[in-house]
Amino acid sequence: MNIFLEKGLGQAPRILGLCDRNPEQKTFGCFDRPYWNYKIKDIVNGRLQEGCYYLALLYTIKHDENKFYKKEKIKELALASLKYASNIQNRDGSFNEVYPFERSFCATAFLTMHMTETMLLMENKENIKIIKKAAQWLMRHSHKEVANQTAAAALALYNTFLLTQEKQFLEGCKIKIAQLLKQQKNGYYQEYRGYDIGYQSITMGIVLRMIQKDKKEELGLKNSIQKAYAFIEGKIGKEGHYDNTETSRKTQFVYPFIFSERPLREEITKGLKKDKILNPAWLDDRYVIPLAIDYLETGVNIKSKE
């Protein structure tokens, strides 16, 4: 098994433990354990519901080491976590992350992105009304200083277009992409007016996913990703490490999906094998889900090219 699948699958027990798996509970499918189990919070962190896509990947990845492949309980839980999102969505279509009525652009963009990925992978459109409301909210709002959120909103809108075939969402996606390209400077996608390697890898991964989906090549992202690769390749060391002292957000992580198609995969793999770079097992419950998702998708993308 490649190391990316190994690290991603290794977090399955932990991530399943975050989710309410009792179908008799009103919170069935909720991933915010401090909310549904410990009851020490008043609202659900919408970003934790991205676990629906992790479950969808567990259900669909065929591999000898994946004991969750095609298990009906995993499918049931993935769909339940999708459905639970309707319980935490604001009336205007947005989602909260930290406090009531926050209407977080970040949470709405990333949760909608992962929900639509789940629906496409599971070939399930039961929650399309939730998705359309969220997508319409994203078209009305933006966070132009943070490129990774703009990219997530663009992919969320593109996926919504693929699910609905409604042109409004394709046009909304193109507007977000135009914003993203304005945020790119000297190859890097700006995060609060500077570059950040960790968030650069997130943004590039989302851009790469859009390129892979864009069979008609109408989104115009190939030149942008080439510039981004040229920038980041000069920043990553021989074992996947990088200097974060001059970066805008001081991150220490790398989302590896972008390296599933580029030479730097060897450096990232070497660092993982020597346990020298951050991986999903190192992260807290708040951030383990999206990084584990990226590791699983990296493993799948590598496997498909072997």
In contact, 187 and 234? CB cutoff 8 Å: no
* Residue-range domains of the chain with CATH: 3-305 (1.50.10.100)
**Residue, of 172 and 304, whose pLDDT is higher:** 172
**Confidence at 305, pLDDT banded by 50, 70, 90:** low
- CA torsion 116-117-119-120 (nearest 10°) is 120
User: By percentage, how much of the chain surpasses pLDDT 70?
Assistant: 99
Report pLDDT digits (tens) over 99-154. Answer: 999 999 999 999 999 999 999 999 999 999 999 999 999 999 999 899 999 999 99
Report pLDDT digits (tens) over 240-297. Answer: 989 999 999 999 999 999 998 877 899 999 999 999 999 999 999 999 999 999 999 9
Burial of 185 (0-12, 13-18, 19+ CB in 10 A): middle
In contact, 104 and 94? CB cutoff 8 Å: yes
pLDDT for 48: 98
CA distances to 43, 135, 229, 293 from 267, rounded to whole Å, are 41, 37, 14, 20
**Confidence at 173, pLDDT banded by 50, 70, 90:** very high
Rounded distance, CA 8 to CA 272, Å? 12
Report pLDDT digits (tens) over 183-236. Answer: 999 999 999 999 999 999 999 999 999 999 999 999 999 999 999 999 998 899
Rg (CA), the chain: 18
Report pLDDT digits (tens) over 56-109. Answer: 999 999 988 899 999 999 999 999 999 999 999 999 999 999 999 999 999 999
Rounded distance, CA 7 to CA 223, Å? 31
In contact, 46 and 88? CB cutoff 8 Å: yes
In contact, 186 and 194? CB cutoff 8 Å: no
**Confidence at 1, pLDDT banded by 50, 70, 90:** low
Smallest CA-to-CA distance from 105 within 163, 145, 164 is with 145
Nearest 5°: CA angle at 74, between 35 and 46?
Answer: 30
